[in-house]
Amino acid sequence: MKYWNHFNPTKIAFGNGCRRFLIEKISGKKLLIVTSNRGKMQIMQDQILSQILKDNYLIDSVTSNPGLDLIREELVNIKDLNFDALIAFGGGSSIDTAKALASCLNTKGLNFDIENVIKEPKKSLNRNLLPIYALPTTAGTGSEVTQFSTIWDKKNKKKLSISHKNLFPKMAIVDPELTYSVPFDPTFSTGLDALNQSFESIWNKNKTPFSIFMASKAIGNSIEAIPRLLNNLGDVQARYLMAEASLLSGLSISQTFTAICHSISYPITINYEVDHGIACAFTMKSVAKKVLAENPDCFKEIIFYNKFSSPEKLLEEIDYILEILQVRKKAKKLIKTKDNLLSISNEMITPSRSKNFILPVSNKLLMEILNESYD
């Protein structure tokens, strides 16, 4: 008999306007708000949220793919301040930065060094961290409900990950209205991340009936919403579907972790500056075809829950999304030649992710995936 378990302690509020729940949660608390410059403007202009800026400390320096230097600099800036909670407002980068800062902040006034936290997470994170209230403003990473924080060592071109059960935010407040103003490119690169993460948790050794159900629903939502948003960025029902897809994909990977597409994507992002969602989606069709060939039942729940007529129809849907979003073209614009892609292949198999993949990972398999994806 196969056993399975499920653990995710993050409380979730989802729905249009639900950001108002934040206000009652934070009453009387001293807050550290972590966001980007764009996020700051969005908070300032928001009728419900603008009041949180008063009397609280704001970090608005987050950029995409946050680096070690940002974390170190901000820790120096806040070293003499005390907080009761963090607010993470923005895309995955803002939420991951808030998690990294919370990892280093000690409520007794001593700060941990970010590199030590990354090297020895158990030593520094087995304690009560400051609670994080996460408000995603993009529909993509699902970081609001995961235990992961991705930080980049830009000097050495390396992705650094922290994964620990104490990094789950205390509460995720997922309000689709916050995503209405996301511009064209991030709407689709984050949407591709949500779609890819859902598939990653399906072709995954750690999947459970619960994670399969959530990922299947996320895939159905994404396949419906992405073409609608491409036609009309102002389609609020499609924004709702994508916000839900992103949340469900985060919940799925919080149980299964990601797999081979994410493993391959990280050196592509750090070496060629390909957006995370595009870099993950770049190999998705090739991986899906291989999974289907070796394990025809792998997609049966996605097909059942979403009423697709066959696995081939599902592959057609994936192909259609990748085509209309020009994933291969966008990736190849930055990875100029196949030799460029193959030159970083030895960095693409990280055991923490590739070991979750349902098929045996070999160099031959990797080369086939890279060749099929690039040609």
Residue with smaller CB distance to Fe ion, 175 or 193: 193
Residue with smaller CB distance to Fe ion, 264 or 335: 264
Contact indicator for 359, 291 with CB cutoff of 8 Å: yes
Question: What's the closest the beta carbon of residue 141 comes to Fe ion, in angstroms?
Answer: 5
Piece of the chain touching Fe ion by CB under 5 A; list 123-131, 189-197, 234-242, 290-298: 189-197
Q: Is 66 exposed, middle or buried (0-12, 13-18, 19+ CB in 10 A)?
A: buried
Residue with smaller CB distance to Fe ion, 103 or 141: 141
Question: What's the closest the beta carbon of residue 306 comes to Fe ion, in angstroms?
Answer: 21
Contact indicator for 49, 22 with CB cutoff of 8 Å: yes
Contact indicator for 292, 311 with CB cutoff of 8 Å: yes
Residue with smaller CB distance to Fe ion, 33 or 247: 247
Question: What's the closest the beta carbon of residue 142 comes to Fe ion, in angstroms?
Answer: 8
Residue with smaller CB distance to Fe ion, 67 or 131: 67
Piece of the chain touching Fe ion by CB under 5 A; list 3-11, 56-64, 188-196, 283-291: 188-196
| Residue 317 touches Fe ion, criterion: CB under 5 A | no
- Give the residue carrying structure tokens 């000097």: 155
Chosen residue from 177, 193, 244, 275 binding Fe ion by CB under 5 A: 193
| 153 phi/psi in degrees, rounded to 5 | -95, 95
- Residue nearest Fe ion by beta-carbon distance: 193
Question: What's the closest the beta carbon of residue 124 comes to Fe ion, in angstroms?
Answer: 24
| Residue 200 touches Fe ion, criterion: CB under 5 A | no
Strands 57-59 and 31-34 come out as parallel
Piece of the chain touching Fe ion by CB under 5 A; list 35-43, 146-154, 163-171, 186-194: 186-194
Rounded-to-10 torsion of CA 161, 176, 201, 347: -40
Tell me how many residues contact Fe ion (CB under 5 A): 1
CA proximity to 83, closest of 22, 30, 25? 30
| Residue 96 touches Fe ion, criterion: CB under 5 A | no
Token digits of residue 272: 């060629």
- The continuous run of DSSP H or E covering 250 comes out as helix 236-256
Question: What's the closest the beta carbon of residue 243 comes to Fe ion, in angstroms?
Answer: 16
The helix-helix angle for 260-272 and 184-202 (nearest 10°) equals 150
Residue with smaller CB distance to Fe ion, 85 or 358: 358
Question: What's the closest the beta carbon of residue 68 comes to Fe ion, in angstroms?
Answer: 20
The helix-helix angle for 311-324 and 327-334 (nearest 10°) equals 50
CA proximity to 238, closest of 226, 220, 250, 249? 226
Question: What's the closest the beta carbon of residue 52 comes to Fe ion, in angstroms?
Answer: 28
Token digits of residue 34: 């972590």
How many Cα atoms occupy the beta-carbon half-sphere of 103 within 13 Å? 35
Piece of the chain touching Fe ion by CB under 5 A; list 72-80, 167-175, 192-200, 331-339: 192-200
| Residue 177 touches Fe ion, criterion: CB under 5 A | no
Which residues sit at the interface with Fe ion, rule CB under 5 A?
193
